[in-house]
Structure 1
Amino acid sequence: MSEPLVSVVPSGTTLPPPRPLSAQRVIPLRHPGRWVATAVVLVVVAQIAHGLVTNPFYQWDRFQYWFVRPVIVDGLLITLEVTAYSAVLGLLGGILLALARLSRSPVLRAVSWIYIWLFRSVPLIVVLLFLYNFSALYHTLSLGVPFGPAFVHFDESRLATDMVVAVIGLSLNEAAYAAEVVRAGILSVDQGQHEAAAALGLPRRYQFTRIVFPQSLRAVIPSYVNQLIGLVKSTSLVFYVSLLDLFGSVQSMGSTYPGDIVPLLLVATVWYVILTSVVSVVQFYVERYYSRGALRTVPPTPLQKLRAAVSALRARVQRETAI
């Protein structure tokens, strides 16, 4: 068995006092590949930004002129209105369809499955155009005894305004996708939660609204916000049913002023980016709220991350100056 190595210090030699661990400088590991990739990305981003700013084809002066023009703002408000109505109605319809898919009734399951299959198979533009020409098939709508006399009649041409057609078409399409999102969220809840709710003797309605559905929102919200972002962009199709939303206003102005078509398209692009960014911010805070019961610590907000980074930088500077 080998003897351990022992360093021998000559007598009379004074050793320097050991430096405290906090005063010792830790040299970080080098990552040359990371620096090269960062440099390449920065160069590409700089070239793209330079091209956007200096290329006269984009006509940024005309972009500034059109960005907040009344016709654009009016179209933006219509886009927001259609999105809000369609998002609420689509989510409510999706919840009903999801509950029908999970029902014990074979009729409800079959009807819900057929509805979801049909509206996920048909393009949205076809649904909107079909509803827009719905009055050619049914001139009047009525309420009464099934297969019997009607008591109340409605003029379909007066009821089906451009706004109503757009909202109904988007809501029907949105409900089909929202149903699968909600159903997946409900199925993600642990089966023990269902059993515990039933053991408490709660009615099935309260089991769903108080225990199951709130827990499913952690899985529903990220997926449904993706659907909501898609819905914001899908509103551009309502232009084909004669509703001048944001994209419709841009198209109309582009036809009137052909020389401004590029800045007008940039106006629409920037407004859609702003809308989807706002939805993403709302998604972050809603997810953070519903993650309180699933995570030990909730994710920090961007402001909290900024404060932590500033504090870490300040502490690092203090350590460097102390050394």
Structure 2
Amino acid sequence: MPASIAGTVVARNVVVPRRHPGRWLAVLLLAVIAVQAAHAVAMNPNFHWDVYVKYLFWPQVIRGVGWTLLITVVAMTVAIVVAGLLVIMRDSDNPILRGLAYAWVWFFRGTPIYTQLLFWGLFAVLFPRLSLSIPCGPEIAGIEARYLVTPAMAAILGLGFNDSAYLTEIFRSGFGSIDRGQTEAAQAIGMRPGRIWWRILMPQAMRVIIPPTGNETIGMLKMTSLVLAVPFTLDLTFATNAIANRLYLPIPLLMVSGTWYLAITSILMVGQHYLERHFGKGVSVHPARAE
């Protein structure tokens, strides 16, 4: 075949990428809408941007951010520990332990978090004194409930116990996704239970557990805005509301709290991404896409 004809055949077989004019039109339309919306918000004097900038790093607001982070971390730790115990109880051969774990999950998933926080705030009214005593006998030791269950402690317990019910189901689904044959094979070669747990079960379960647990952590962060029900008055939402009530300008202070929640949530999402990538080593998490 002459070279000119061969070149013509090859040229005819060149794959031309498919054009997508609809995509570019959609991008252009969305860009126009976004620019108009940004301009409308930026130029609107009712947002009081000067007040927003002034109070974004106000000491009272920064202190509220610190307390919000502290409550989130401690409450999430409580939730994870309690959920781990509940998972063990649910898998126990003891029907009483299984029943107690099921009742815990049923109760805390079935009642609103705000109602639970209200009850924690009234704990010292319901039980004024906590004591250890011999049944039908004298008291050995005791303490006033208001000294033990402080507003901060009530907020942590309320949020932590509530979220533990949801984390229990997440953990169960994570460990339930692992084929039982892997445990049996590890036992057959003489691996100890602790080593099986850490070397075989945990890495695989974490791939399933981390994404929903990350969502629960972000949800916990935002649920701290409800601790006023306890009442706890040092969190970010209360701090910005107090300033807004003093200035009679709720909108800029709402934007201040929203900005901080967005910033913290963004950091948590980045951390979740790296955790997922760490435990997903050797596993393809992105399915092949058909062109």
TM-score by structure 1 length?
A: 0.81
Q: What corresponds to 1:228 in structure 2?
A: 217
Offset, 1:242? 3.0
Residue in structure 2 matched with residue 140 of structure 1 by the alignment:
129
Q: In the aligned structure 1, how far is the partner of 2:273 from the partner of 2:163?
A: 22
For residues 186 and 144 of structure 1, do their structure 2 counterparts lie closer, same or farther at Cα, with a shift above 3 Å needed? Answer: farther
Once the two structures are TM-superposed, the CA of residue 221 in structure 1 deviates from its matched residue by 0.2
State the match for 1:244 in structure 2: 234
Task: For 1:1-323, list aligned pairs within 5 A.
Answer: 15=4, 18=7, 27-145=16-134, 149-240=138-229, 241-258=231-248, 260-295=249-284
1:48 deviates by 1.6
Partner-residue secondary structure (3-state), 1:52: helix
Counterpart secondary structure, 1:242: coil
SS in 2 for 1:87: helix
- 1:196-215 CA-partner distances (Å, limit 9, x unpaired): 23323444444334422232
Instruction: Give me the whole-angstrom Cα distance separating, in 2, the residues matched to 1:211 and 1:17.
Output: 58
Q: For residues 149 and 195 of structure 1, do their structure 2 counterparts lie closer, same or farther at Cα, with a shift above 3 Å needed?
A: farther
- Greater Cα offset, 186-195 or 229-238: 186-195
Q: Which SS does the other structure have where 1:74 is aligned?
A: helix
Amino acid at match of 1:270: T
Distance 2:69 2:278 in 1: 25
Q: Which amino acid aligns with 2:43?
A: T
Name the CA distance, whole Å, in 1 between partners of 2:64 and 2:51: 18
- Checking the alignment, whether the CA contact within 8 Å between 2:152 and 2:232 is kept in structure 1 is no
Which amino acid in 1 is paired with 2:174?
A: G
Amino acid at match of 1:250: T
Measure the CA separation in 2 of the matches of 1:16 and 1:101: 75
Deviates more, 1:32-41 or 1:158-167: 32-41
Please list every run of 5 or more consecutive structure 2 residues that lacks an aligned counterpart in the other structure: 287-291
Q: Secondary structure at the match of 2:141?
A: strand
In structure 1, C-alpha distance between the alignment counterparts of 2:172 and 2:136, rounded to whole Å: 34
**Letter of the structure 1 residue corresponding to residue 30 of structure 2:** V
Letter of the aligned partner of 1:63 in structure 2?
Y
With structure 2 as the length reference, what TM-score do the two structures score? 0.90
Larger radius of gyration: 1
SS at match of 1:143: strand
Q: What is the DSSP-based 3-state SS (H/G/I as helix, E as strand, rest coil) of the residue aligned with 2:93?
A: coil
- 1:158 Cα offset (Å): 1.0
Number of corresponding residues: 284
SS of the equivalent of 1:223 reads helix
Give the conservation status (yes or no) of the 8 Å contact 2:155–2:232: no
* Structure 2 Cα separation of the partners of residues 117 and 156 of structure 1: 27
SS at 2:140's partner residue?
strand
2:113 and 2:159 in contact (8 A); partners too: yes
Counterpart Cα distance in 1 of 2:185 and 2:282: 17
**Partners in 2 of 1:55 and 1:32 — Cα distance?**
35
* Cα distance, 1:15 vs structure 2: 4.6
* 1:99 CA displacement: 1.6
Per the alignment, residue 312 of structure 1 pairs with none
Deviation at 1:243, TM superposition (A): 2.5
Q: 1:168-221: CA deviations, max 9, x gaps? A: 111111111111111110101122222123323444444334422232111000
CA contact (8 A) 2:87 2:172 kept: yes
The separation in 2 between residues aligned to 1:138 and 1:254, in whole angstroms, is 36
Following superposition, the deviation at residue 150 of structure 1 comes to: 3.7
* Structure 1 runs not aligned, ≥5 long: 1-6, 300-323
